[in-house]
Chain A
């Protein structure tokens, strides 16, 4: 993996003019899923509610949250590939243009690309090489080989069926796909999950490299440490909503720089900060629940927190937080 080009190479070619334009803006994004439990009435579950995100070119934003908090569905919602029984609402803009479902369909795999979480995201019956090639515009064989070389995939692996590759190898295949695509926005859904430390670091380096190629990266993960290694901003995801968006430099300082009690708890749970275990239960998010999602676990909760739902407010330094008392 030491063959990655150094960061400066890309810095030089970076066009500075567009820097302030958002690549993707997400406002009030919500997803409701209708499901049946025990054959009774359908239950409508809000898996994502009032989600906000902005991302620029070359920026890595980590979305950090516990497993089961609906992070993968977030990727689906942005890509427009949500399950049939899901309803997505909200305003999405891509390059300042509204991102409708039709537009999403056009952009999928071209402008917006997914790095999936599970290794079974490859068709079990198709050779890896064919799966990589099948959707790419690059017919230039040399360029493709260069990419495989960059991510550390040999030719032999490419001729295999997915089941014959290790988890780390499959992630490299995903990375190669993202590299070879012309995508400007890459959503990496738990790309380091299940990898050993070395392979995970390789993956993080690849993500960094993609960002240096002027691509915006949404890095979905439950691993804060991994997020802190490469992300510019951390969006903390709890029970289907962003509770806080903090710049990385603020997050690592911790303490007063973190406003939301959940974020604070996450910070204190980091090994270097005392390792205080904190696993708040994800509340079931049926749609009628009023008030703050975190109220049951919050040390600061007052009556108002039970009755009203706090909005995401911008605070000093450009960070955002969803709490009445921040």
Chain B
């Protein structure tokens, strides 16, 4: 019964997702087609000078650039939905291959920092909430407000200055030592290169979860069951562990899942600062070098990424709701 409800929720989300995805695709394509970028020039790049007009004409013919925009779109769209995202002009590779290759380091970076910021953020938020109005609370609150106004890349630069330049603890950037063959890179090398970017990203991602957990904790502590638990003689850590933790954890995780959009954006910036070879960097390169197929591919991919986060958040909310109000349907 409950499971079928959950499946229904997920199905509805999926339908909504695909309709939004189609809109994103249409809108992005429309936008890009109005851009002043000359597709032939971006395809040829530096070779523009050496290629003759007839050859250019042939390329335009091949890609159907002379056809009406609408026809171009449908042609592109039909291949797109079949899973053919086209060829990246920059990497001279299939767009999906580039995304797959580039997402792997980004995935580690994001999961590492997402988990870290979740755990630390929850703990800080819980401490602040339990000490509402006290010094600790004010310090944590100020910290997260300042954090919310801090650009991710500046923290990255700061960490670079402190940990890499001054203390020499970590490499300046990149995903692995320079000039090393891929096969020779050890996991320790990778770890050394991921620590600072991940730390940066987790610091930035902490503010939201801290403030939310704090709020939820204050709400929970003002609830009737906490009053009763206190009347029963519970206090301090027991009270938190038995009632506060249980009632604030799932909402916190749920909210944290809903921040995938910011996580992705943060990763783009952090990867740029640390020259970390992830998807974010590929996106920046695609944008700067007019690699339209890759750009569109990553836009769609990031939409799916955000969707997964929101879906997880929704599922968790449904689960929580069902436990508190079993009779009702969402």
Contacts and interface: CB of A to CB of B under 8 A. Distances in A.
Q: Do chains A and B touch in the complex (CB under 8 A)?
A: yes
B247 A123 contact: yes
Contact of A84 (B132, B229, B233, B243): B132
B230 A81 contact: yes
B100 interface: no
Interface string B224-236: 1101111111110
A105 B230 CA distance: 9
Of A76, A79, A84, A121, which is in contact with the most chain B CB atoms at under 10 Å from its CB? A121
A121 B225 contact: yes
Given A109-B233, A164-B326, A81 B227 contact: yes
B231 A116 contact: yes
Interface string A88-116: 00000000000000000101111001101
Contact of B323 (A107, A121, A125): A125
Interface string A116-136: 101011111110000000110
Of B228, B246, B324, which is in contact with the most chain A CB atoms at under 10 Å from its CB? B228
Given A120-B225, A122-B228, A123-B246, A108 B323 contact: no
Nearest to B245: A125
A129 B71 CA distance: 67
Interface string B115-131: 00000000000000000
Contact of B231 (A109, A122, A164): A109
Given A161-B323, A163-B325, A76 B227 contact: yes
A177 interface: yes
Contacts of B224: 116, 118, 120-121
B326 A121 contact: no
Interface string B260-272: 0000000000000
Given A126-B242, A163-B326, A135 B225 contact: no
Contacts of B242: 123, 126, 134
Contacts of B228: 114, 116, 121-122
A177 B229 CA distance: 12
B128 to A, nearest CB: 15
A81 B232 CA distance: 10
Q: Interface size bucket, A side? A: 20 to 34
A138 to B, nearest CB: 14
A107 B230 CA distance: 11
Contacts of B132: 84
B232 A135 contact: yes
Nearest to A174: B228
B329 interface: no
Nearest to A120: B224
A114 B232 contact: yes
B133 interface: yes
Nearest to A112: B231
Nearest to B223: A120
Interface string B316-327: 000000011110
Given A81-B227, A163-B325, A109 B246 contact: no
Contact of A109 (B223, B232, B247): B232
Interface in A118-166: 118, 120-126, 134-135, 161, 163-164
A126 B224 CA distance: 14
Given A120-B225, A121-B225, A81 B231 contact: yes
Given A81-B227, A114-B228, A123-B225, A135 B233 contact: yes
Given A109-B234, A135-B234, A123 B229 contact: yes
A177 B227 CA distance: 15
Interface of B: 132-133, 223-225, 227-235, 242-243, 246-247, 323-326
Given A163-B325, A177-B232, 8 more contacts: A105-B235, A110-B233, A113-B231, A114-B228, A120-B223, A120-B224, A121-B224, A122-B225
Q: Give 9 nearest A-B pairs by CB, closest first.
A: A109-B233, A114-B231, A121-B228, A109-B232, A108-B233, A81-B230, A121-B224, A124-B324, A116-B228
